[in-house]
Amino acid sequence: MKNIKKLIQSIRDKNFQSKKICFILGNTKKIENKSFFLTPVRENDDIIFFGAIVFNDHVAKKILKIIDGNVDYVFVDIEKKIQSKNSNRNLINIERSAKDYIKKSKLNVYKANDLAISSAETLINNLFLKDKRGIGGKKILILGLGNIGFKLSLKLVESGADIFAFRRNQKTLNHFANTINLIKPLGTLSKINVLKKLPENLKKFDIIITAVDQNNLIKLKHVKNIKTKTVLIDAGKGNFAPDAIKYLRKKGHLIYRLDTTSSYFSYIQNLIYTENQYKNDLKINKINKYTLVTQGIVGSKNDYIVDHIKYPKKIFGRCDGKGGLKQLNEMTKKKILKIITK
């Protein structure tokens, strides 16, 4: 716990540009000997974020006491992963603990798995930007159709990729695959296919993604015949055996270890923007004969959606009374702005 105090003080001392300091408190179903571990400090022009991954609720409460009031924002993982050690194995709710203990810092929530999925999707699309079809028609092997594998498979199928999925529980695998093929858009021809076992020869796949809680799943025999341009992503971390990694490195073949940094920055900035957008209790305001409505609120017919409810500088359109907007020409916007900003 002393390390957390020292780290916070060090960040505060060096924060000359008054960047928003955010602490990310995550949890995991993995069981380790340590009670928690700290995540690296990451920084951009506006935000500094770091955090801790905890393995029990008791440690989470201790950390929450330390960070409250010493950081601008606290983000808590709302996915229920930690199980109590008692006989009924109830899931522990660190979100509830955070709401009990965080009184000075601003509290927000996040879902770590969803940010990992977003990072994986962004990485894959970025790697195939120069391909005229993008990932359309690509054969993607996903090993582990759990929370991450399922959601990522749906996204990739929707983007036109053909998914080949494997997990040990075949009954669950079939249920998940059927669900994806059922809920995908009607115009989507691509689909998810079920594999009864992990293929020893992975040559036919354009992308291989591992998302399992198992070390050394991909062995040397699996990677000896893969194509030169096959994209390899270790989303489960530790899924590739050392001999496979050594062989691939020798061949100049990269394995991408899923990095979620960009997703966290985007998510934090999105939440801060949303907070600023809705922080004013006043959502509807009347100036002269014009009724102004803030963005994100359904207006009545002939209300005007503006950028700021009290001091508007921009008009986005006129409400049609059905939740939609009617576009206005620039001359009309300028005329109305002149009246409401007098």
Per the rule left: phi > 0, alpha: psi between -120 and 50, beta: everything else, 277 is alpha
How many CB atoms sit inside 10 A of residue 79's CB?
Answer: 19
Q: What is the pLDDT of residue 33?
A: 67
- Asked if 67 contacts 4 with a C-beta cutoff of 8 angstroms, the reply is yes
Report the chain (342 residues): mean pLDDT per 10 consecutive residues.
Answer: 91 91 89 82 96 91 96 94 56 87 96 96 96 96 96 98 97 97 96 95 95 94 93 95 96 94 96 86 90 94 94 95 94 94 84
Q: What is the pLDDT of residue 210?
A: 97
Q: What is the pLDDT of residue 87?
A: 47
Q: How far apart are CA 217 and CA 213, in angstroms?
A: 9
Q: What is the pLDDT of residue 32?
A: 64
Phi, psi dihedral angles at 61 (to 5 degrees): -65, -40
Closest CA to 159 of 142, 137, 178, 174: 137
- Asked if 21 contacts 15 with a C-beta cutoff of 8 angstroms, the reply is yes
The H-or-E segment that residue 65 falls in is: helix 57-67
The three state secondary structure string of 231-286 is: EEEECCCCCECHHHHHHHHHCCCCEEECCCHHHHHHHHHHHHHHHHHHCCCCCEEE
Q: What is the pLDDT of residue 31?
A: 62
Q: What is the pLDDT of residue 63?
A: 96
Q: What is the pLDDT of residue 55?
A: 87
Closest CA to 193 of 169, 157, 163: 163
The domains of the chain, with CATH numbers, are 2-110 (3.90.190), 114-261 (3.40.50.720), 280-340 (no CATH)
Q: What is the pLDDT of residue 91?
A: 62
Q: How far apart are CA 156 and CA 128, in angstroms?
A: 13
